[in-house]
Structure 1
Amino acid sequence: MNGTEYIHILPCEKIPARVKVPSSKSDMVRALFFGMIATGESLVHRMEETGDTAAACSVIRAFGGQVIRDNGSWRITAHTRFPDTVDVGESGILYRYVTALAAGAPHFVKITGGPSLAKRPIAPLLSALGSGRFVIEGRDSQLVSCLLSTLFLREGDSVVDVISPGELSWIDFSLAWLARLGIRIEKRSYEQYLVFGGQSVAPFTFTMPSDPSLAFFFAVLSMIHGKPITISHMKEAIFHPDWKAFTILQEMGAGLEWEGEALRVLPGGIKGIEIDINHTIDSLPALAVLAVFGDRPSTFSGVAIAREKESNRVEALREELGKMGVQVQATFDTLTILPGMPKGAILCSHNDHRIAMALGILATKANSASTLMGYAAVQKTFPDFFNSLLA
């Protein structure tokens, strides 16, 4: 993917009445990682082929394991070795988890990946692993989660001290995964954890929920077009940290109804809001699009960590929404959107799947056609996004 792929998007009145989104990326990558370090064969249902799962499968093969696909059910066999080199693709979570795992290898392991990984903080993790004392800066929850998810493999107990913990719902999400696998960790506070050593992951079976962070883009589409939309397989997604974005959606005017396992979004008048979204930071691009159509300005705080995702999302949104004539004000930790009518423009995804999806949705409500460069960034998590959006 070189960023030169483009797609033309025309303003439209029609939106899909029903959509199905991929399974949860966060669950899929964790399932593949834990399946790799398990003691036998694990079975995971409702798996999807995405850039991140492809990277995880490549990692598993590098570690001597296997992934056997049978439609949406994947069998994962455990790793048998530490490789000399492993490529984690563009996956930030794999980058951190594999780094923490490789710290226990009997030899040096070289970890490579895509260009966006250079923007992902890793120094705090390397410092913690290298010192023998597990003290880590916790603003980025993945750095904490990868320690909790690998230290139990060591012989002795470990204490993890966290400075300035952030994205707390994601820490709870990781702890829930570990508890499901039978791993004992004592959470003394968000600042300290006792990880009991000498544990292993038993083979497991798990069925993936839909990804609420991807479904949220279509919920926003429903709101800005004023037309209801039904999203399939969402019931289990209420336990995911990104479900919190839907509670924000309700605060901004949406109604939600359940139709069995499906979620129906009922649009209402869009209300501006001031809210800390650190706990659901991946919703920032979609929320920024929703705020364009609010009844007053919206300010999202706690967004500093969004500067360290696949792109600097704060600056990417400021730049791209600005091209469409939307007034955006940014500080290091806040983003303010002033409502207005977006105009068609030549846009750039910044090689970021969530920026690409957000701009694609906004372009359907612009006053003229838009061109989105680098739209194929959606391959990372939702390869069929534009087919679903523009069907």
Structure 2
Amino acid sequence: MERSVEPSSVRGEIKAPPSKSMTQRAIAAAILADGQSLLLNPSYCDDSLAAMSIAVSLGARVEPQADKMKISGGGELKEKKLNCGESGLAIRLFSPIAALFDEEITMTGSGSLKKRPMNMIVDALIQLGVKSSGTDGFLPVTIKGPIKGGRCEIDGSVSSQLLSGLLMALPLAEENSALKVNNLKSKPYIDMTIEVLKAFGITVINEDYGLFRISGKQKYLPVTYAIESDWSGGSFLLVAGAINGNVIVSGLRTDSFQSDMGILKALEKAGAKLSISESKIEVSKSDLRAFEFDATESPDLFPPLVALASYCKGVTRLKGVSRLRHKESDRALSLSEEFGKMNIKVEVSDDYMIVTGGEVQGARVNSHDDHRIAMAVAVAALGASGTVFIKDSHCIVKSYPGFFDDLRKIGAVVHE
């Protein structure tokens, strides 16, 4: 689907979307608990729907409602093929959980997930006593447990998601486990996982993010758990206010472990007008200046940061480009290509993305079927000199289905 976004002044209050990352983690924890859990404020984006489908396949009863989700865990395996859609988190989170079963399960996916390497998952599971193999290093991956526990060493430089999956599965293993993690990136995401585990009655010992000790034979408790709002999605709304308007975003926790809360620091560095309270953040248009920002721990911020930097006077330097290679697209290349069409120069040098601010022009751009690219160019269009037409904008359903509706609510002119 092609959508167009006209230059628009945005104004008003909007609630940030629920966190898909926390929704998926909470679904995983709930299916491992013997009893009914209640998840409040869940995300129903495509990635969350994939997690719900997996939960049902693994024997859980899932009852989705508008603003809550009931999950009854502790059931028996129903399907031996688990489809993770395009969710990188789902494949890495649920593969170790699938290894808790003593039957062979096949993990599959679609779209860009088929292009992502899977050797890391297979290697880790084999170390923990699981029979597992991939297909030339990619999906599908077969898994036959049960996972035994013990010692395991993994590389955390590409993603922390597999570590999250192991931390969720190993408390139910027969043996105690010790996970050695080398060069862990995105540490805040591990804090998010441990926060969910604690809420569901599970204890994990974190020794400075290099070693994790997990006692086996623990039990997940069924609980009521409130999903917090999503800083990743909310960052686009905040940048929209900084570019061309006055926007109040509600629902974002300022005590969150989400690394994308770093958008506040970037906005401050850029000179945006910010007012922050416990429940609301107000951002207003101002003269923006170039800034430097390290996004190594928050790679999902690159798209909104590039949109912000496009309106900053001078040259902005964003560190952490190495984290962008295995996303829904090659985000570094996609951002350079699409913002280039809008008259903004985006270059990559070593681990830096360099953005030269200027006059954003109307153009026909491509999302590369990447939800965050689609949202970035849409937000950048708000202050452009002409209309921006976005090809394949439907991909926003992966993380933020209501994105364009929310833009309209604060005054953006969006056509479908």
Aligned counterpart for 1:287 among listed residues 301, 305, 316 = 305
Over the matched positions of the two proteins, sequence identity in percent amounts to 30
User: Greater CA deviation, 127-136 or 313-322?
Assistant: 127-136
Q: Is the 8 A contact 1:245 1:280 kept in 2?
A: no
Distance 2:4 2:399 in 1: 21
Could you tell me how far 1:236 is from its partner in structure 2? 5.8
Q: Is the 8 A contact 1:253 1:269 kept in 2?
A: yes
Distance 1:285 1:351 in 2: 14
Q: Is the 8 A contact 2:60 2:75 kept in 1?
A: yes
- Residue 181 (structure 1) aligns with: 200
- Quick check: which one's strand share is greater? 2
User: Greater CA deviation, 261-270 or 19-28?
Assistant: 261-270
Could you tell me how far 1:354 is from its partner in structure 2? 0.9
Could you tell me how far 1:125 is from its partner in structure 2? 2.1
Asked if residue 116 in structure 1 is aligned to residue 135 in structure 2, the reply is no
Aligned Cα root-mean-square deviation (Å)? 1.7
- Residue 394 (structure 2) aligns with: 376
Asked if residue 90 in structure 1 is aligned to residue 86 in structure 2, the reply is yes
Q: Is the 8 A contact 1:209 1:237 kept in 2?
A: no
Could you tell me how far 1:10 is from its partner in structure 2? 1.8
Distance 2:276 2:127 in 1: 50
Distance 1:119 1:106 in 2: 28
Q: Is the 8 A contact 1:11 1:368 kept in 2?
A: yes
Distance 1:143 1:260 in 2: 32
1:282 to 1:208, Cα distance in 2 relative to 1, 3 A: same
1:273 to 1:119, Cα distance in 2 relative to 1, 3 A: farther
Could you tell me how far 1:97 is from its partner in structure 2? 1.2
SS of 1:336 mapped into structure 2: strand
- Residue 332 (structure 2) aligns with: 314
- Residue 360 (structure 1) aligns with: 378
Amino acid at match of 1:129: L
TM-score (norm 2): 0.88
- Residue 337 (structure 1) aligns with: 355
1:222 to 1:147, Cα distance in 2 relative to 1, 3 A: same
Offset from partner CA, 1:78-129 (integer Å, 9 cap, x none) = 1422331111112111111111112232121111111111233421121111
Amino acid at match of 1:389: L
Q: Is the 8 A contact 1:173 1:241 kept in 2?
A: no
Distance 1:196 1:62 in 2: 27
Runs of 4+ in 1 over 6 A off after TM superposition: none
TM-score (norm 1): 0.93
User: Greater CA deviation, 276-285 or 75-84?
Assistant: 75-84
Asked if residue 61 in structure 1 is aligned to residue 56 in structure 2, the reply is yes
Q: Is the 8 A contact 2:40 2:69 kept in 1?
A: yes
1:79 to 1:94, Cα distance in 2 relative to 1, 3 A: farther
Amino acid at match of 1:291: A
User: Greater CA deviation, 271-280 or 237-246?
Assistant: 237-246
Amino acid at match of 2:123: S
Distance 2:291 2:162 in 1: 30
- Residue 99 (structure 1) aligns with: 95
Q: Is the 8 A contact 2:289 2:313 kept in 1?
A: yes
SS of 1:64 mapped into structure 2: coil
Amino acid at match of 1:27: M
Q: Is the 8 A contact 1:65 1:78 kept in 2?
A: yes
- Residue 18 (structure 1) aligns with: 13
Q: Which runs of 5+ in 1 are unaligned?
A: none
Aligned counterpart for 1:171 among listed residues 190, 193, 198 = 190
